[in-house]
Structure 1
């Protein structure tokens, strides 16, 4: 009996490990939203899933000012679950979703001249209600059940922390991309001023030589 109980516990743990890892999905994306435009991304969700969406205006391709955006999450029925008015960064969590296609829309129509460089991450955790039914069917000891449920919670939390660490690394790479864009956009200015300085130095040298020759006409 003890061996059967131990095997049942191990089977439950193995099933939860596989389901936690396979029931989550995430994505990251960086894009430039032109001035005066709107861009929507679509994601199909299952019923009773959990959606975590985080976005940040990393910057403009050329400047640092006006780093804000209007954002909304729209359900399959057209209801606005979340709406942000001209924010730079936000994190939204939506639990108990309905089945269908959700919209994540970024709106930069209020800015007529400034494009925005945006980074967002999407984390989806499918419903795990079947795991609770499985736990009740193979475990009768209350303490053991609480231990297994606690283990599953810690496993899910560890997975979320790993995901957050990955998001931070991607955001740092996005900052590097923004800085590279600024360097590329400022390169022509450096070249222009260098050319102007060279021309000025040559003109000053020629002028000095001409002045010296005018002071000594017979030489």
Structure 2
């Protein structure tokens, strides 16, 4: 039942496939950086956001966004912004203009989220079930591997303990034999010298 709950949770949370473009760029003083994103489907939802994350002085940037076929256009000068719109198929351009600043380089974080075609719920549920089954198989393999390694570690520990006991026993026997041989030699030499 927990597996079904997990599948249902993923199926309700992930019915839409999406493409996410995230990057940071340094726009030097007096320069403009432009980027393009290819929109492959017609009429998809796009969310574009940007934020100036570091600058020497002013924290604003000229943001220029143009959707494919002029379907959407934004021009503004702000520290950050979020724009959601429906984009047409084609190339969407995004420019970060810092040409008005003569000394301040600016680090900009940009995120573009494109909602692709809606994936059928059954496909998401099937993929989630397959992923959960694969995870369970991997967990069982990992448990078996841990069990085998635990047994191997016990075997090695037993061998080491037996070797330790054998070394101690034979070390004591050898020490006693050496002491006995030494005592016998001393006694024999004394008897010879008398």
Q: Normalising to structure 1: TM-score of the pair?
A: 0.46
Question: Does the 8 A contact of 2:46 with 2:112 survive in 1?
Answer: yes
In the other structure, the counterpart of 2:92 is 102
Deviations 1:164-201 (A, max 9, x none): xxxxxxxxxxxxxxxxxxxxxxxxxxxxxxxxxxxxxx
Sort the Cα spacing of 1:74 and 1:55 in 2 relative to 1 into closer, same or farther, 3 A. Answer: same
User: Which of 31, 36, 43 is the aligned partner of 1:48?
Assistant: 43
Work out the number of aligned pairs and report it.
Answer: 114
Unmatched segments (≥5 aa) in structure 1: 1-12, 135-219
Unmatched segments (≥5 aa) in structure 2: 1-7, 123-194
Cα distance in structure 2, aligned partners of 1:75 and 1:18: 28
Cα distance in structure 2, aligned partners of 1:73 and 1:103: 6
Cα distance in structure 2, aligned partners of 1:80 and 1:94: 7
User: Which of 15, 21, 39 is the aligned partner of 1:20?
Assistant: 15
Question: Does the 8 A contact of 2:18 with 2:115 survive in 1?
Answer: yes
Paired residue secondary structure (1:127): strand
Q: Normalising to structure 2: TM-score of the pair?
A: 0.51
* Two-structure CA RMSD over aligned residues (Å): 2.8
Question: Does the 8 A contact of 2:44 with 2:114 survive in 1?
Answer: yes
Query: Hey, which of these two has a bigger chunk of strand by percent?
Result: 2
Please report how far the alpha carbon of residue 34 of structure 1 lies from its aligned counterpart in structure 2 after TM superposition: 0.7
In the other structure, the counterpart of 1:89 is 80
In the other structure, the counterpart of 1:112 is 102
